Structure 1
């Protein structure tokens, strides 16, 4: 069991949300996001820095559309860019070593068994399943593939051609429910009115032109490229996408709605349990044992829950009543969260 500390994100709990409409017809994929198929989908808010308002707004606009039908979950991304480049051509390469666009999906919101997808401007993809976040000792399953995945990229400019009149690149992705249902509640696609936890990331490296080719800008003090920028839809408050509890809420809608989204009260309880999980893990790292009294973790912060803590030498369980009075919500030492 991983008993190392877990950094607590410096952010108010306010994930973005998106009403995902049903697609009105088949998608003919070419990477363009201005065709009739996407007309009924709203754009997300523009991406922000992964750390949120504490950092400057991204220099280049990124936004996403989503749709769904009985077969697939559809994504369209638009990435404004004057330096369009990519190098990786082998599937399941570490795509974020190039500029890329990324999708993260946690179907049941328990932060375990979730999906990551990355794509570059060459339409090379990396799809993987995470058993649990890295902070909780979870290995990535690189051999897992989205069966039936379809992707396309459109370049508004010229790829790997410095000096070209580049404007943007755009991406279309169709992920079949036949694969995504694997980690979904009850092993099925979502129904209208339900939500999944989703987020998006754009990795952007500093590059310059050397001998007619884009090259990453190297920090002369380290001899390595400068760290990449991470721009996201729903900010994380930490430079780490693998905090699924902070991803946005995508609500699936049909012709009968819903038309809006209000955060379910239990989601706030889950967040407060999550904060106690961070602090319990950090308490162990500092003291070599888990806190048995909630006051050791709660401090002077304002809380809406009255938690119950159970510990052994190697494990802990923190719980609080569900808001409807029916059952309790639990979180354990590896971050797994559930209701009984």
Structure 2
């Protein structure tokens, strides 16, 4: 039988045809698969018609949607991750990418301001108010129940700040200079005049006109081994006054507001530099307010036992902490009141530095040390796309220092270099203590 099959011509033709059909079918299947795969790789998938926040919400529908707390936690998660995945499609978007709150301070020109606390001069009336304050952590939290806002003017010698603080219970007990005003109800401002994040000034004032002022060489969060970073011997030497509509420290009525009016010599704010703002200069600035929960006992205000302080600020900080300079707002100095265009061309450089710093500190918190490999860091995609800056460079260093007790310790630091791709500025650097410097 085998021999018959081999020599039988008809059978042999049938076998050859079947084999050919099988091979052809196999080849066609491979080609179809190949070109289908190639086509799916080359073809751009349509982008979702909703943003990142909507995408997260559509996928995460569990939880107690009726709970205010749950919604706040969820909105905070969405806020953080939406910002984290933001991309830049065109270099023209770089300068204002994720720009924080900003304000234009106009020169007084031929106007003048009398420091009496009332904010009623023409110079104040023609200046815009800032946005009202939000919860210091984020504006996804409930809106503060009292309004707070400010105005800024300047002349060739001084900076002028006016603040409106709505309040139904005017209360303050601190009447000595440099008291801890934040422990009661107070208004404060923090200023970094040269963009270095170092040597910034903090000023607080209460409804009695009592002031606390100090210079901080860097944020207390960045102090090595608990070293002192502030100097209360520095004084702003301000001109200041407060005005209020109501009665101070007298429960039983409903007060309305108080206003603070302050001016500071640039020679004191710059302190180590003989300088003053130039047109279009930008300062990093933050404003904050502490509000206590009060009750009336025996004709006096007292803080409700066990209650917490409400913290509000102009620019949200993502934490109850005003000493995070990389999370402050921006103030630009201009002369022409008709010039309402805010533009800070270095912003994309600062943002790149700040995002790199956050990523490196997060990496160290998890792994115990910094890394010089950007691929290991949780950085936003725009930093790697090259849209605004060249891919940042990281250098690590170790420095031995002697502690007050005589023992030695090693301080690990990083130096991140960022260079703009479309604006002519010197490369900028940031260290782990938030110190920023532009170097040629």
**If the length of structure 2 is used for normalisation, what is the TM-score?**
0.69
Measure, in 2, the Cα distance between the counterparts of 1:233 and 1:144. Answer: 25
Q: Is structure 2 residue 437 aligned with structure 1 residue 338?
A: yes
Partner of 1:280: 360
Measure, in 2, the Cα distance between the counterparts of 1:10 and 1:187. Answer: 40
Measure, in 2, the Cα distance between the counterparts of 1:174 and 1:312. Answer: 42
Partner of 1:175: 264
Partner of 2:349: 269
Partner of 2:121: 35
Change (3 A) 1:165 1:289: closer
Whether the 8 Å CA contact 1:109–1:244 is kept in 2: the answer is no
Whether the 8 Å CA contact 1:193–1:257 is kept in 2: the answer is no
Q: Is structure 2 residue 302 aligned with structure 1 residue 215?
A: yes
3-state SS in 1 of match to 2:362: helix
Measure, in 2, the Cα distance between the counterparts of 1:64 and 1:300. Answer: 33
Measure, in 1, the Cα distance between the counterparts of 2:337 and 2:241. Answer: 31
Stretch moving more, 274-283 or 10-19: 10-19
Partner of 2:293: 206
Partner of 1:188: 275
Whether the 8 Å CA contact 2:419–2:426 is kept in 1: the answer is yes
| 1:38-57 superposed matches below 5 A | 38-57=124-143
Whether the 8 Å CA contact 1:193–1:258 is kept in 2: the answer is no
Q: Is structure 2 residue 418 aligned with structure 1 residue 320?
A: yes
The Cα offsets for residues 112-150 of structure 1, whole Å up to 9 and x where unpaired, read as 110000001110000000100111116111110013x11
Whether the 8 Å CA contact 1:91–1:126 is kept in 2: the answer is yes
3-state SS in 1 of match to 2:145: coil
Give the counterpart of 1:251 among 312, 328, 332: 332
| 1:33-182 superposed matches below 5 A | 33-137=119-223, 139-147=229-237, 149-182=238-271
Partner of 1:310: 395
Question: How far is the alpha carbon of 1:165 from its aligned partner?
Answer: 3.7
Question: How far is the alpha carbon of 1:69 from its aligned partner?
Answer: 0.5
Mind listing any 5+ residue stretches in structure 1 that lack a counterpart? 1-8, 220-225
Partner of 1:241: 322
Stretch moving more, 326-335 or 249-258: 249-258
Mind listing any 5+ residue stretches in structure 2 that lack a counterpart? 1-78, 84-97, 399-411
Whether the 8 Å CA contact 1:109–1:245 is kept in 2: the answer is no
Change (3 A) 1:326 1:244: closer
Partner of 1:223: none
Task: Tell me the number of residue pairs that the alignment of Structure 1 and Structure 2 aligns.
Answer: 322
Measure, in 2, the Cα distance between the counterparts of 1:170 and 1:196. Answer: 23
3-state SS in 2 of match to 1:54: coil
The Cα offsets for residues 245-279 of structure 1, whole Å up to 9 and x where unpaired, read as 22221111113864311342x31232222122122
**If the length of structure 1 is used for normalisation, what is the TM-score?**
0.89
Specify which structure has the higher proportion of strand. Answer: 1
Change (3 A) 1:326 1:168: closer
The Cα offsets for residues 289-308 of structure 1, whole Å up to 9 and x where unpaired, read as 22121111135744254111
Measure, in 1, the Cα distance between the counterparts of 2:379 and 2:157. Answer: 48
Measure, in 2, the Cα distance between the counterparts of 1:154 and 1:213. Answer: 21
Whether the 8 Å CA contact 1:79–1:170 is kept in 2: the answer is yes
Measure, in 1, the Cα distance between the counterparts of 2:329 and 2:427. Answer: 24
Whether the 8 Å CA contact 2:244–2:259 is kept in 1: the answer is yes
The two structures, once aligned, show a CA RMSD in angstroms of 2.0
Partner of 2:30: none
The Cα offsets for residues 180-199 of structure 1, whole Å up to 9 and x where unpaired, read as 1225xx63010122111112
Task: Tell me which of the two structures has the higher relative contact order, counting C-alpha pairs closer than 8 angstroms and 6 or more residues apart.
Answer: 1
Specify which structure has the higher proportion of helix. Answer: 2
Question: How far is the alpha carbon of 1:287 from its aligned partner?
Answer: 2.4
Partner of 1:5: none
The Cα offsets for residues 2-61 of structure 1, whole Å up to 9 and x where unpaired, read as xxxxxxx95954311111112243322221123333112111111111112221110001
